[in-house]
Structure 1
Amino acid sequence: MVDSAQPRVTVIIPHLNTPESLGRCLDSVTAQHLDRGRAQIIVVDNGSSVSLDAVKARYRGVVFAAEPRPGPGLARNHGIALAAAPVLAFIDADCRAAPGWLQAAVDAVEADPARAIIGGDIRIDFADAAHLTPIEAYEAVFGFRQQMYIEQKHFSVTANLAMARRVHAIVGDFAGIDTAEDLDWGQRAHRLGFAIHYLPSMRVYHPARPDSTALERKWQRHTRHDWNAHVAGGRPAWRWRARAAAMALSLPVEALKLFTSDRISGAANRLAGVGALARIRWFRATEMLRLMSAPTESGADFWNRSP
């Protein structure tokens, strides 16, 4: 990238306890090429219990900062406060940016800097695409449905998001750990009249969760966010119970999506995904009912604090 006094774009990466993944992420981000200008890269550590000294020594051109309060939204806010560029791009520390990711993000934002908010495609980073684990098959279809999130729910997952800094200043900071910060921020932007656009050429790869426990923790955190919103909205308990029942009974409809998706191939992979789908749908339904009798839990209870 060509150097200049002011960076053209700032890439912000929140990090927690995954230095090896962070290294792979930085490899992919520092390999990006812009047609002009340069990128500033900021990593904000969110209270890791493992050292980042080796990563810092390897990437001397990267800005490293620390945010002790738990939550990726707060880490992103810290990075934004340090950003020197008019365009902001966000990627998670366990993701890998595809070639052309940053150029696509910058071009899309610069085309309408006063309004543009861009969410890109997120694919699962398979270890072996011909022989998927059940969790890989499940997450390939259901893990990051970016186009649906953007077009129907008006938010983008923050693992692949870009905007002008001036737009962020209008919408405001990301929320803390007890809120689904990507959903909350996107819907605030939507209420202010901004439209989020889906850009498939702006692609990153995200690893599947390593095991069922990690996948369950993800859904515990998201279900807690949904429950908090349900309670804050004054909605009746029967409606939450109905949602739990619908979750448990949705397997046939959702399984059809696995068998018709172009994101995986092969009967064995699709069947493996159905098995994971059945387990996680039942888990989510029972977790929804459990939360009704555990109102004092926080999202921080399910946040990764171990390496």
Structure 2
Amino acid sequence: MKLNAPLISVVIPHLNQAEELDHCLASLAAQRLERTRFEVIVVDNGSSLPPYAVVGRRPGTQLLHEKQPGPGPARNTGIQHSSGKVLALIDADCRADPDWLRNAMHALESSQEETILGGDIRIWRDDPKAFRAIEAYESVFAYRFKLYIEQHGFSGTGNLVVRRSSFEKIGPFAGINFAEDMDWGRRACRAGFRFRYVPEMIVFHPARRTLHELYMKWDRQIQHAINTARDQPRWRIRWVVRALAVLGSPAIDFAKVLSSERIHGAGARFKAILILVAIRAHRARKMLSLMRKSKAVIWNRNVDA
């Protein structure tokens, strides 16, 4: 540990998202927590053009490189080279609320040693007066960290704060063939740690621009899920039943759209329902089509590549 080391190390994995990373670093520069109390480490994971210029505009921000593909190995490299007693994880395409780190520290100070913090992720909108269809859908269904933490016992890594001592006991994140946040969260729970949802710990994520981007997101998650399912007995039957359940699930989730406080107006709710039906139909088709395919996973490839 370095002398006069910062208290918090913010670690950001990056792959072909220079513009989004620029917004992320700007949000960290605007933190209300004193800048000397935290460091920022970006770990590039094989971008076609590493973000030298973006990082170079932010004094004190480190840029590292990790050749092994996947956000998990990139985070591990950043953590290995960090100095803080507290690790704060955020994704390159996210923007932190100005009080993100300050609220995280307040919550951590009032939590037991075995506690890991997960916060709220909200959809960023350039026009706060109107909802695009995908913005409306994702405002209701994306990044439900409260649900993940309170019902499933783990938090996503796009908004996670953990003591270094806890991370060292749990171990590093897994590679690209695993849903690394779920895998790490389950290992943390087995080791006796518990996740706490902190609604004041806010991070914003832009909505996907197109249905294709949403499809790619679900394709990755479905690939992770089928990789796990193949190890279970009678997995094919279970998988087909699961796919059919996904296809019919919009009938149940209409109520969530109509009652959500995160969107407003009949138009936004109608748009969200249209996207909901399209996504669930795609997920069901993809689940069935993957039953004879390989285990390859791509975590964050530029959709224009």
Shorter-chain TM range is over 0.9
Q: Superposition pairs for residues 241-260 of structure 1, below 5 Å?
A: 241-260=240-259
Please, what TM-score do these two structures have when normalized by structure 2? 0.95
Are residue 105 (structure 1) and residue 104 (structure 2) matched?
yes
Q: Which runs of 5+ in 2 are unaligned?
A: none
Q: Superposition pairs for residues 60-71 of structure 1, below 5 Å?
A: 60-71=59-70
Q: Which runs of 5+ in 1 are unaligned?
A: none
Q: Superposition pairs for residues 186-201 of structure 1, below 5 Å?
A: 186-201=185-200
Partners of 2:146 and 2:98 in 1: CA distance: 20
What amino acid sits opposite 2:206 in the alignment? P
Partners of 2:53 and 2:34 in 1: CA distance: 30
Q: CA deviation at 1:35?
A: 6.1
User: What SS does the corresponding residue of 1:120 show, helix, strand or coil?
Assistant: strand
Cross-structure match for 2:271 = 272
Partners of 1:63 and 1:233 in 2: CA distance: 43
Identical pairs, percent: 44
User: What SS does the corresponding residue of 2:203 show, helix, strand or coil?
Assistant: strand
Cross-structure match for 2:215 = 216
Question: Is the CA contact 2:176–2:297 (under 8 Å) kept in the aligned structure 1?
Answer: yes
Q: Superposition pairs for residues 19-34 of structure 1, below 5 Å?
A: 19-34=18-33
User: What SS does the corresponding residue of 1:90 show, helix, strand or coil?
Assistant: strand
Please, what TM-score do these two structures have when normalized by structure 1? 0.94
Cross-structure match for 2:228 = 229
Give the one of 297, 301, 304 matched to 2:301.
Answer: 304
Q: CA deviation at 1:163?
A: 0.5
Q: CA deviation at 1:37?
A: 5.4
Q: Taking structure 1 as reference, are residues 249 and 51 closer, same or farther at Cα in structure 2, changes over 3 Å only? A: same
Number of aligned residue pairs: give it.
302
Q: CA deviation at 1:144?
A: 0.6
Q: Taking structure 1 as reference, are residues 233 and 188 closer, same or farther at Cα in structure 2, changes over 3 Å only? A: farther
Question: Is the CA contact 1:113–1:164 (under 8 Å) kept in the aligned structure 2?
Answer: no
Question: Is the CA contact 2:137–2:273 (under 8 Å) kept in the aligned structure 1?
Answer: yes
Q: Taking structure 1 as reference, are residues 57 and 167 closer, same or farther at Cα in structure 2, changes over 3 Å only? A: same
Partners of 2:256 and 2:147 in 1: CA distance: 13
Q: Deviations over 1:178-200 (max 9, x none)?
A: 11111111111111221100000
Q: CA deviation at 1:36?
A: 9.0
Question: Is the CA contact 1:97–1:204 (under 8 Å) kept in the aligned structure 2?
Answer: yes
Q: Superposition pairs for residues 79-98 of structure 1, below 5 Å?
A: 79-98=78-97
Partners of 1:59 and 1:234 in 2: CA distance: 52
Q: Taking structure 1 as reference, are residues 162 and 282 closer, same or farther at Cα in structure 2, changes over 3 Å only? A: same
What amino acid sits opposite 1:189 in the alignment? A
Partners of 1:62 and 1:235 in 2: CA distance: 50
What amino acid sits opposite 1:60 in the alignment? P
Partners of 1:151 and 1:33 in 2: CA distance: 28
User: What SS does the corresponding residue of 2:172 show, helix, strand or coil?
Assistant: coil
Partners of 1:63 and 1:127 in 2: CA distance: 29
User: What SS does the corresponding residue of 2:4 show, helix, strand or coil?
Assistant: coil
